[in-house]
Chain A
């Protein structure tokens, strides 16, 4: 066998090692400067006066109210958006009707509209000076500068996440399994719970995670509609900004660190989903 020349197979995309390492190095450098450094800075600033001071600032009534409000908003708007997302994706993928293309465009609208504009629209529609808003205030149900407005703003901004994740998955899966369930005598409702929902469960969870991360972090739209009333309508992001404006650096960054930690947990869960259920996620097909 020694007379066979030793041919080295070279993949078509191979670059020489120097180029490769330079590129990888540049990517890591960019990531460090843009992502890791700020993240570390947030935690460093939060702990500048020690763990005790940081924890004490988080225990203050304002911080606790902000955390509670943000978690409440997420707990209400994320499930609602998950439900709307499923409904929209179901409608778009399982039925043929006129105006479908328009509906798909509409779902993406929040991605292209500035959150501040969205917030202003809500104020215009439901503010005290508007017809609907004035009437609701008179009945004792204010929307703007109150919880309902914040929920509306959050839901508008996060609406596309669940639907966008579900539509490609549901298109790929087709209608055959649902039709099979119907021929076997299952009602539409039963078909949904026993066939459709189990088939999209990982994609749905993925969409919900993204939706939740954005819901807790939303600033622009919420800042406009909430009025940022301390202890009442100030969420975590708006409270962070107010504390920072008042030079309460430890308090601002401690709250920011909590928000960042929540984001990191989301990221970990998201990555775990990507590793274990890649085949059932739309995101992995897009990549």
Chain B
């Protein structure tokens, strides 16, 4: 899905989290929002997902105005920074949640839900953990379950807030490839937030560098490396 951000700004009280920013993301791209802490990455991601509403500006999905759509209507698969798995539900029920929440007319049958959850568990390469609870999983496993839960609703796009933030270096590398593979099989427009420039450069098709609520540069990793647009970008990617 083609995602367009048109002059979006966001203020929390008197702090401006986002100055008007504009961005056009081609359908099916894997995009990194890269920037230091407090640069507005999470805010922008939450605005896309419908969890936050912009102070001004418009969001368009495939050319259609989506600014007023509720979070449910956006159908964005959202992976939260701390994963936000439902702690009182098994992994199976976590993944099935979105399907069970559908209105009766479009809700799959119980067998169909079980079949889809099983397939998603295979996709994240954890076929045997359906009966476990989130507290019984490792950090990397939790992250993958959160991804499966977001994919279960057949989202129109995938939004991930620091999906590898809380993991050690080795697991990060593995899961990076996992996300790349899932992106390539599903073909979903995917946006992930990171403050790790290496991660952004290695994984993304398109990198959006942000600083203090502004977009500093948008480009392919190799272009940003070769031609940093501003002093900030040069400093940040060489760090």
Contacts of A87 in B (CB 8 A): none
Q: Is A177 within 8 A of B87, CB to CB?
A: yes
Known: A183-B71, A199-B88. A190 touches B101 (CB 8 A): yes
Please tell me if the beta carbons of A199 and B87 are within 8 angstroms of each other in the complex.
Answer: yes
With a CB–CB cut-off of 8 A, which chain B residues contact A179? 51, 71, 78, 80, 84
Instruction: Indicate whether A187 sits within 8 Å of B84 (C-beta atoms), given known contacts A179-B51, A182-B51.
Output: no
Q: Complex Cα distance A214/B101, Å? A: 39
**Is B35's CB within 8 Å of the partner chain A?**
no
- Return chain A residues, CB-CB under 8 Å to B84: 176-177, 179-180
Q: A225 → chain B, closest Cβ, in Å?
A: 41
30 A-B pairs (CB sep. < 8 Å): A176-B80, A177-B84, A177-B87, A179-B51, A179-B71, A179-B78, A180-B78, A180-B80, A180-B84, A181-B86, A181-B101, A182-B71, A183-B49, A183-B51, A183-B72, A183-B76, A183-B150, A184-B101, A184-B149, A184-B153, A185-B98, A186-B72, A186-B98, A186-B101, A187-B72, A190-B101, A194-B97, A195-B86, A198-B88, A199-B88
A194 contact set on B, CB distance < 8 A: 97, 101
- The chain A residue sitting closest to B49, CB to CB, is A183
- Separation in Å of the A172 CB from the closest CB of chain B? 12
**Does B75 lie at the interface of the complex (its beta carbon under 8 Å from any beta carbon of A)?**
yes
A67 to chain B, nearest CB (A): 37
Residues in chain A near residue B153, CB distance under 8 A: 184-185
Residues of B within 8 A of A181 (CB): 86, 97, 101
Q: Could you tell me which A residues sit within 8 Å of B by CB distance?
A: 176-177, 179-187, 190, 194-195, 198-199
Interchain CB contact under 8 A, A185 and B102: yes
Residues on the B chain within 8 Å of A182, using CB: 51, 71-72
Residue B82 lies at the interface, judged by CB distance under 8 Å to chain A: yes
User: B3 → chain A, closest Cβ, in Å?
Assistant: 16
- B98 nearest in chain A by CB position: A184
- Of the candidates B49, B80, B85, B88, the one having the most CB atoms from chain A within 10 angstroms of its own CB is B88
Q: Give Cα distance in the complex from A180 to B50, angstroms.
A: 11
Q: Which residues of A contact B82 (CB under 8 A)?
A: 176
The reply to whether B75 and A180 form a contact with Cβ atoms under 8 Å apart is: no
CA distance A194 to B88 in the complex (A): 10
CB distance from A177 to the nearest CB of B (A): 5
A199 and B97 alpha carbons, distance in the complex (Å) = 15
Question: Scoring B residues 53 to 82 as 1 if CB is less than 8 Å from chain A, else 0, what string do you get?
Answer: 000000000000000000110111110101
Bound together, the chains give a CA A183 to CA B72 distance in angstroms of: 6
The residues of B that contact A195 with a CB separation of less than 8 Å are 86
Q: How far is the CA of A183 from the CA of B159 in the complex (A)?
A: 11
Who on chain A is nearest to B70 by CB? Answer: A182
A98 → chain B closest CB, angstroms: 11
Taken together as a complex, chains A and B put the C-alpha atoms of A3 and B49 apart, in Å, by 69
A11 to B51, CA, bound (A): 51
Question: Is the pair A185, B72 in contact by a Cβ cutoff of 8 Å?
Answer: yes
Q: Which residues from chain A contact B98 at a C-beta distance below 8 Å?
A: 184-186
Contact B86–A177 (Cβ < 8 Å):
yes
Give complex CA distance A180, B98 in Å: 10
Q: In the bound complex, what is the Cα–Cα distance between A265 and B84 (angstroms)? A: 37
Q: Do A185 and B101 contact each other (CB < 8 Å), given the known contacts A177-B86, A198-B88?
A: yes
Contact B87 A184 (CB under 8 A): no
Instruction: Report the minimum CB–CB distance from A226 to chain B (whole Å).
Output: 42
Cα A180 to Cα B87 in complex, Å, equals 12
- Cα distance, A46 to B233, chains bound together (Å): 83
Q: Is the CB of B86 within 8 A of A185?
A: no
Q: Which of A180, A182, A194, A199 has the most CB of B within 10 A?
A: A180
Q: Name the residue in A181, A184, A185, A199 with the highest tally of chain B Cβ atoms < 10 Å from its Cβ.
A: A184
Further pairs besides A183-B71, A183-B74, A185-B72: 10, Cβ < 8 Å: A179-B80, A179-B84, A183-B150, A185-B75, A185-B102, A186-B97, A186-B98, A190-B101, A194-B101, A199-B87
Chain A residues positioned under 8 Å from B72 (CB to CB): 182-183, 185-187
Scoring B residues 23 to 52 as 1 if CB is less than 8 Å from chain A, else 0, what string do you get? 000000000000000000000000001110
What is the bound-complex CA distance between A127 and B160, given in angstroms?
Answer: 60
Shortest beta-carbon distance from B10 to chain A in Å? 15
* Docked CA distance A199–B85 (Å): 12
Q: Which residues of A contact B71 (CB under 8 A)?
A: 179, 182-183
- Nearest-neighbour CB distance to chain B for A8, whole angstroms, equals 39
